[in-house]
Amino acid sequence: MRVSLLTGVLLVVYGILLSSCTAVVPELPSTLTQINKLDEAETAFKVHLIATYGQIWEEENVDEGDKFSAGLSAWKLASATEDPAWSNAAINAFKSALKAQPDMPLLKAWLGSSHALMARDFPVQGLWQIIPGPGFVRLYHVKKSFSYLDEAVDMAPKDPIVRLIRGSTYLGMPSVFGGHKDGSADFELMEKWVENPQRNPEFADLLTSQIWLQEYFFSCARAMANVGRDEEELHCWRKLYQIAKDPNLKELAKWHLT
C-alpha cells in the first residue's frame, strides 16, 4: 500500500512539474553579432542547433512523421536549451519508436541518454531535492538512463555510435552515480577504433567517415571537459578543428583553442 501511494505521489509531482512545460521551439535572435570570444561561439552554436533541429521537430512531430528523427531533434533541442519539456519530448518520441523496433540498440541508447537529460534538467533544484517526491523522480531518470544504456551496449558492444552515446552520457553525469569508469572505458575503446578502424572491421566504413569523426571528436572534447581532463579535451578540439567540414563545429573548436 505504501509503495502504491509513493508511486502515485511521484507521478502526480512529475505531472504537475511538467504539465506547464510545453515543447516549443525557442525564438531565435534576428541577428548574430560577430563572434569575439568563446561564450559568443557557444551561443552561436546553440542557435545553430535550435534552427536546424527546431525545423526537423516541426516536420517530424506529426502522426505520419518519423519518431526516431523527432526524438533526435528533441534531444538536440534539450541539449541546447536545457528545457525539461524537450527532454520529456525526446523520451516520449524514442519510446514510441522503440515500440515499433523493440530490438534496436541505437534507440535504447538514445532513450537512455534522454533520461539522463531529464535528470539534469528536471525542474527541481537546491534543497527541494531532499523532498522524497522530487528527489526520487531525478533518481528514477538516472536509473532508467543506466538501464537503457547498458542494455544497448550489451546488445551491440561493437557499435561505435552506441558506445559514443553511453560514454558521453556517463561522463556527463556527476561521478557520484558511478558511471565514469564505464564511460572512460567506452572512450578508450573508441580511441583504439579511430586510430585503427580494422580493429572493428564491421564498422570500419563508419569509423573513417567524416560525419563520425566530427561527432566523435566533438563529443570527446565535451566529455573530457566534464571530467576535468584538460589535455585530452584540447587534443579533441584540435583534431576537430583540423578535420571539421561543418563551419559551426570548426568555429566552435577554434574558440576553444584560442
Mean pLDDT for the stretch of residues 250-255 = 96
Compute the distance between CA of residue 16 and CA of residue 2 in angstroms, rounded to an integer: 21
CA-angle at 165, arms to 80 and 151, nearest 5°: 130
- Can you give the pLDDT at residue 58? 96
Question: Quick count: other Cβ atoms within 10 Å of Cβ 194?
Answer: 19
- State residue 245's pLDDT score: 93
CA angle (208, 97, 28) in 5-degree steps: 75
Residues 160 and 166 sit within 8 Å (Cβ to Cβ)? no
pLDDT digits (tens, 9 = 90+) for 74-125: 999 999 999 999 999 999 999 999 999 999 999 999 999 999 999 998 865 5
- For the chain, report the end-to-end CA distance as a whole number of angstroms: 59
Residue 20 has pLDDT above 50, yes or no: no
Tens digit of each residue's pLDDT (9 = 90 or more) over 203-242:
999 999 999 999 999 999 999 999 999 999 999 999 999 9
Q: What percent of the chain stands above pLDDT 70?
A: 82
CB neighbours of 114 closer than 8 A, spacing ≥ 6?
71, 74, 75, 78, 87, 90, 91, 94
Structure confidence at residue 14 as a pLDDT band (50, 70, 90): very low
C-alpha 26/C-alpha 24 separation (Å) is 6
pLDDT per residue as tens digits for the range 96-107: 999 999 999 999
Nearest to 170 by CA among 162, 182, 158, 157: 182
Does the CA dihedral 174-180-184-185 come out positive or negative? negative
Query: Grid coordinates standing for 61?
Result: 512531430
Q: Which three cell numbers stand for residue 45?
A: 552554436
Over its C-alpha atoms, the chain yields an Rg (Å, rounded) of 19
> How far apart are the C-alpha atoms of 144 and 142, rounded to whole Å?
6
